[in-house]
């Protein structure tokens, strides 16, 4: 039976970098956010999402205006819940099909930003949490997304704190220096291979 190892971390923690590193080792990695983005390009899903919003959130290209959606849902948690209720079941279905294709692997990594918020951790055998000091995370996101400090803090408020996530995690990796992080990840992967 393939073990499911959850990989999570708040915005700016560096979990995507860690996920890519793990994938480079030949371990199957499922990146839920990427799959959600693909699902949100399907015409039927676009129409379903547009019905949630009073204003138009579809670009001239016919695709969703993701920046506009983000700015709206991060101010209206109820809308965010409704959006997740459309997208998450479709991602779950896609993951289950992907898992079948990788059933010969001793374990897979499922990278999900809001693993605990969606109770996704309950379907995981172990959970790896990637953290970083708040200032480091804020700086990373401001640089990556070209957004203000206030915007990053607003997004962070929609996620569980690292303290809460740590209580439910099996492995906690503080990602400040990436080389140190990779060494810690190697140790965890070796442990998972023999356990």
What pLDDT is attached to residue 194?
86
What pLDDT is attached to residue 7?
98
pLDDT in tens, 100-129: 999 999 999 999 998 998 899 999 999 999
* Residue 141 pLDDT exceeds 90: yes
Whether residue 115 sits in one domain with residue 92: no
DSSP state of 115: T
Range of the domain at 64: 33-101
For β-strands 126-131 and 3-8, DSSP reports them as: parallel
| Domain end point (choices 69, 84, 101) | 101
- For residues 7 and 105, give the distance between their C-alpha atoms in angstroms, rounded to a whole number: 17
Whether residue 112 sits in one domain with residue 134: yes
Whether residue 89 sits in one domain with residue 118: no
* Residue 158 pLDDT exceeds 80: no
Tell me the CA distances in angstroms from 43 to 16, 50, 92, 150, one per residue in order. 27, 11, 19, 33
- For residues 26 and 8, give the distance between their C-alpha atoms in angstroms, rounded to a whole number: 19
Whether residue 20 sits in one domain with residue 43: no
| Domain end point (choices 47, 75, 101) | 101
- The vertex-112 CA angle with 179 and 40, nearest 5°, equals 125
What pLDDT is attached to residue 139?
96
Binding-site residues for ATP: 12-17
Whether residue 126 sits in one domain with residue 59: no
| Domain end point (choices 84, 101, 118) | 101
* Residue 155 pLDDT exceeds 90: no
Whether residue 192 sits in one domain with residue 121: yes
pLDDT in tens, 166-179: 999 999 999 999 99
The enclosing domain of 158 has a CATH number of 3.40.50.300
Global model pTM greater than 0.75: yes
Binding-site residues: 12-17
Whether residue 110 sits in one domain with residue 195: yes
What pLDDT is attached to residue 118?
86
């Amino acid at each position: 039976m393939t073990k499911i190892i959850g990989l999570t971390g708040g915005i700016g923690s560096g979990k995507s970098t860690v996920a890519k590193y793990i994938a480079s080792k030949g371990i199957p990695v499922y990146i839920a956010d990427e799959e959600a983005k693909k699902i949100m390009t399907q015409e039927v899903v676009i129409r379903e999402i547009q019905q949630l919003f009073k204003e138009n959130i579809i670009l001239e290209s016919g695709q969703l205006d993701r920046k506009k959606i983000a700015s709206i849902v991060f101010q209206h948690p109820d809308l965010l819940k409704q959006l997740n209720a459309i997208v998450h079941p479709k991602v779950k279905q896609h993951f289950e099909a992907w898992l079948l294709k990788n059933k010969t692997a001793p374990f897979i990594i499922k990278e999900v930003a809001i693993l605990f918020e969606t109770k996704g951790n309950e379907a995981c055998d172990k959970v790896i949490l990637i953290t970083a000091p708040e200032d480091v995370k804020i700086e990373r996101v401001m640089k990556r997304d070209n957004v203000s400090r206030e915007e990053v803090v607003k997004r962070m408020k929609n996620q569980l704190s690292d303290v809460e996530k740590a209580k439910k995690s099996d492995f906690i990796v503080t990602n400040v220096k990436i080389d140190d992080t990779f060494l810690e990840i190697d140790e965890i992967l070796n442990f998972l291979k023999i356990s």
